[in-house]
Structure 1
Amino acid sequence: FLSNNQLTGSLPNLTGMNLLNYVDVSNNSFDATDVPPWFSSLQSLTSLIMENAHIQGKLPVSLFSLSQLQTVSLKNNRINGTLNIGPTFSSQLQRIDLQNNFIDAFTQRAGSTVQIILIGNPICDEGVTQSYCSFPDQSNSTYSTPPENCTPIPCTSEKVSSPTCKCAYPYSGNLFFRAPSFSAFGNKTVFESLHSKLMETFKSHGQPVESTSLSNPTKNSNEYLVLNLQVFPAGIDYFNRTGISSIGFILSNQSFKPPHTFGPFYFKANEYPYFAGLDKGSGKPLSTGVIIGAAIGGFVLFSLLLFAGVYAFRQKKRAETASKKNDPFALWDPNTDSGGVPQLKGARSFSFEEIKKCTNNFSESNEVGRGGYGKVYRGNLPNGQMVAIKRAVQGSTQGGYEFKTEIELLSRVHHKNVVSLVGFCFDQGEQMLVYEYITNGTLKDGLTGRSGIRLDWMRRLRIALGAARGVQYLHDLANPPIIHRDIKSNNILLDERLNAKVADFGLSKPMGEPEKGYVTTQVKGTMGYLDPEYYMTNQLTEKSDVYSFGVLLFEILTARSPIVNGKYIVREVKEAMDRTKVLYNLHDILDPIVAANSAPGSVEKFADLALRCVQESGDSRPTMNEVAKEIENIMESAGLNPHAESASTSNSYEGKGKDHEHPYIKESLFAYSGSFSPSRLEPK
């Protein structure tokens, strides 16, 4: 089937294609050619259609002897000579159309019923009245599925009488067959085979079809065979939507396979307006059920539209929230109080020029550290206050949300054991935090010796108490209460008198009273300090900080990181502990400084407190207020006054003369801890 494709060159040679039954290469631009000899060699040929194909010469008699040949259409060529179909023409031959050629004679055969059309040939000059010189009567070429042993009855309105003589609303449309192997439409056998195949297919798919009707076979402008199809419902007058959908699916997705003589097809359905038994000609009012159904349907549709609107609005808000997290100051105009300006209490906003001036234009001599976040500079404000300025890498969005969180939270907290935020700078694309200057580094540095400060047992007790009071303040006295989420030795800073100050609020979560059991969408913290209950339930409470503080107490006892070579400090202490022995049998785990200089019983009480803090269940852990009071009791039993400030500065401690790194180089000021790897967490 290659008609109407503007093909050029020589006419294809189809010799040897013995299974080919349909040939149509009409209306192309092939070179002029004599009648091809392969015309007579295609033993399975049923239809030869080569209109306007520039063919010339005489048709061989052998062509019409092909046993399966039904149709020959060679209109608008240069066929000449005498048309002779021979005495042994095919019994299936039904139509020969040679309009507008140069046939000048025709040898008729007695008893032949073959339809021959020679209009436009010399043989049909004016005055010739032979049947082949006029268009054939089409009345005998139509087909319609006959009634099945019954008499059709008149039907009202738009109902149609089915082949079983029942009135119903059929599902109708047209079947388009692109390349049928027959051309004459008077042979009812081929249409009956199609009808049988349709019914067989519908029944095998369980469709509610009683009968089908085929009618009005015609050829369209593309030479497709077009058949009108009507499908009648079984048991009722109409199909429901499911039935129409299923039947349409079978006919449209090629589940139905017609007899091979029809070839490939497609189905084009007519609109079906008769759903739910709607009888357009009955004049009956809609039933109550229909009205109720329509009302429910309308309500459902309205609800769906409302839901879609709400969903779209929420998605938009989520997108805006995500955008704000990436750039939390996007809506802030530094010259106004609107938009995304941080809500500050006791801290101020610095301009870029002010920061530039107090750091001597960010000179290298003022640089005291650097890390993944950026650089830290020492600066002096006009009032003489020394500050540490943490400057983010310009253009970096790292820690954007945490940056704003830390500003807002730190500006609200004012306690001697919490690092004070002096202010911040958000100007000319810069993100900078301005802190009070802390001179003696982190507790981590002190425990490992990197700071050059020797922390004996008594000093460690004071540091533990100061840190406990700082966290207690966040939980109980800050407004709103704050869960730190990242308590660790790197986030406890030591000032010039070795007072502990809780730092780094990048992961902190402000907590209102109704949110005491806040469920997070992403667990955050530092591996080793992280509360396993928080990890397993995603439920964040102040007891999560208590667990982390318990790990910190073990770190103060041992001067070890929580996880070393895959060994978890909490598990190590539990496995080694024996309360019947001196120092609970922890000699091999304790820092030698602690083991050698502790007051009797204080280490044991300290270890007991740490174990209470790391209980598996948060409900079994003490509050930070209780933790602070217990440390006070331990200090009093060791002969220390828990309410007295450290009397000496760090200059009097051993090793102070040794140079040490600035505290802001460390994690406490550079790394905002993100998600952790659960597979490496080993709390037991």
Structure 2
Amino acid sequence: MSERMLVALLLVLNYLLVAGGEQANGDLATLLSLMDTLKNTPPNWVGSDPCDGWEGIKCKNSRVTSITLSSNDLAGQLSGDIGSLSELETLDLSYNKDLTGPLPQSIGELKKLTTLILIGCSFNGPIPDSIGNLQELLFLSLNSNSFSGPIPHSIGNLSKLHWLDLAENQLQGTIPVSNGDISGLDKLHHAKHFHLGKNNLSGRIPPQIFSSEMALIHVLLESNQLTGNIPTTLGLVQSLEVVRLDSNSLSGTVPPNINNLINVQDLLLSNNKLSGFLPNLTGMNALSNLDMSNNSFNPLDFPGWFSTLKSLTTLKMERTQLQGQVPNSLFRLINLQTVVLKDNLINGTLDIGSSYSNRLRLVDLETNSIVSFEQNDGVPNVKIILTDNPICQQSEGVESYCSSSQASISYSTQPNHCYPATCSSEQISSPNCICAYPYTGTLALRAPSFSDFNNKTYYSMLEEGLMQSFKSHFLPVDSVSLSQPNVDSTKYLKMNLQVFPSGQDHFNRTGTLSIGFLLSNQTFKPPKGFGPFYFLADTYEHYGSSERLTESSKSSNIGIIIGAAVGGSVLILLLLLAGLYAFRQKKRAEKAIDQSNPFRRWDTVKSNTEIPQLKEARMFSFEELKKYAKKFSQDNDIGSGGFGKVYKGTLPNGKLIAIKRAQKESMQGKLEFKAEIELLSRVHHKNLVSLLGFCFEQGEQMLVYEYVQNGSLKDALIGKSGIKLDWIRRLRVALGTARGLAYLHELVNPPIIHRDIKSNNVLLDDRLNAKVSDFGLSKSMVDSEKDHVTTQVKGTMGYLDPEYYMSQQLTEKSDVYSFGVLMLELITARRPLERGRYIVKEVSNALDKTKELYGLHEIVDPAIGLSTLNGFDKFVDMSMRCVEESGCDRPKMGDVVKEIENMLKSAGINPIDESPSISSSYEEVSRGSSSHPYNSNETFDMSAGLPYPKVDPV
């Protein structure tokens, strides 16, 4: 901090000496202030001219006009000095989840600002009232933060505003409208987007917020606490295309003039307290998605006007007191995909007719009074649900219609006429079969007009639209991939997006900043019918060492700034004084560093003693580990990953160790590093890789583990390590892994969730006993919310619990799911995701319990030894229980342990006994070329980028 103060002092002097440069130097001083309060600013922010190639900075006439730093892993708080950038027009700091604190009042001093985007950060506190001073503002996106308090009335002063997105915060109070001299949102006549959903807004929807003068196309007020009537003024805004008022407490009748909204494609009024009669929506010929479910409407014979809505794809009228018979004319609507009429009073015969829409996929009439179904021969490609109807009391011929199960959503981009590449580490094979590190995140559609979410055409259209947008802006993108679509509780369609680089295996920082800005400022326009969207990017960690800033380069940058900022002999005296000052400060800093060392009170153990059974981790000195690893020589280098390198070492007593040495840019804060060591040092089990100690000195962070010599389970299954595993060996490996997990879940206090169980993270010792390793994504249940931890989704594709993925609620059952996938991998020796096939689905489809080996002959690994597989059926049954969709249907790891122990007992094996050492019956082929457990980047498949567990309380 003292060097920064010195630079500021010198810049003031430069202001006095150099006429005409004061404004540019002011911008530099402001950016230096930002660098003081923010971590992880771009590494090329060096020199005295931010207009000379600083990443994320654009200038005009030597003044900073644009800062776009999305997906940059920024951390800290935004300095109030930001208001000094008087020429700033664009500020985009989206997708920096560790950017926190309040938005400074000085934001209102940026009088030329046209674009303010802060999506997916962690800003909190009230939105400052000064934001209403930004008279040039066109685009305001503050969604997906933690802002609280009321929506400022002053936003109504932004007369040029086009886009307003405050969704997914914790905003409270009423929707502000003008009153006398006080402005409100009703003054925003040029705004086309009001995105205010998923907050805590209350009170009535004020009638004056809508008028014929408004240009609105999207009104999203879903998932708030709004009460009162839907104002009749809504019917005056004929430009509207999407209206979401669902999941509030609105009451009264739906205004009959709502059918004036002839351009509306999505009308969602479900989950309110609306009453009276359904409004007649005849004439709304653009309407695709209509949902009025779960309201208190008067009983009404099924309206014939439903059949006149020519664009209708989705009709949901669950629990709305509809009665009578559904006319088959409804099913002839050519675009119709989904009809949900559950919990009504519908009776008579269901007759879909012979000329129903070929796009129809679901007709759900559960819990009604239907007595017969005309199409007894079936309706191809359409799921009919008639559960809890009188028809289901018949004895035969109705089984297929009397089940409530629905097909799960499944999609992933397929290879583009090529064979997927085999990639190492965290690289992924692109649709063009090229290994690369993609830019990733979650794309969410807030109101899609379609409901056939398994239709690949929609995803292909979205992928094509994304590629066209990237290409038209000359971005270095090779291809895009969409996967794992799911509909959340608020009816958003979310999916994983991967964007692959062109010409190299990773993006540079400029590439990710450009892609992030294109998605954050809505430059990309999705195809019609996909509705409004937002994007939340993951942190990108694969820029390469050339773009990472070391502490030494930071120090040298200060020298460059000083040299460029000052000139002339008049500064010599100041520099001499600065040198004396810096020397004094250095001594103070060294003392402060010693005092702030979180390990200073930990006792060390001399190197010539035996390694203790740890209650606290042993502290090694840097010189000790340097000696044990032979000066970290290349010969002792046994692996690497995003965190740094791993070296083999030998203690004085001959014990082998593995030393993980973090790179500077991968290192954590002192307290976080200490907390993680304390976590690992309290975890001791024979089926967990043991932490022996650590090093925290000379700017180093190193972890010392026991050395496990026989590689990973994955290498054994694919034949890479030369170790053969028969059926009994595989049962033992499964048992050891299960015991390790059961210990973490049930005996550690507070419990620990591993979060990345996979075959690459199960190591085999000299007796082929399993040891769970790599706690880089582990989560402690300390301060957990009931029985789960709410956290960003991390893990490895193929092993990832779908329930955790959809809810972001991590539980022990997430590990159980991953373990179930591992069990299937033990049976088949196949990767969980291979050539677009998912092992869980493959086994489920092939499973036939009436046949030998449950009908799995073709996918069982031949190396397993097919003669005697005692307990095979029970092993498969347990595997499938572990991968149940709902976590509550999965067993606990303790129960899994008992079941596998019983399997071994039935085979005449004592599960308590250790495995014998490897004998000639388990030969090791090509031992010299075998892969070491620490030698694969995949062994350290760290989504979090760290070689040790990040245990942060929720």
Higher RCO structure, 1 or 2 (CA under 8 Å, sep 6+) = 1
Q: Which has the larger radius of gyration?
A: 1
TM-score norm. by structure 2 comes to 0.35
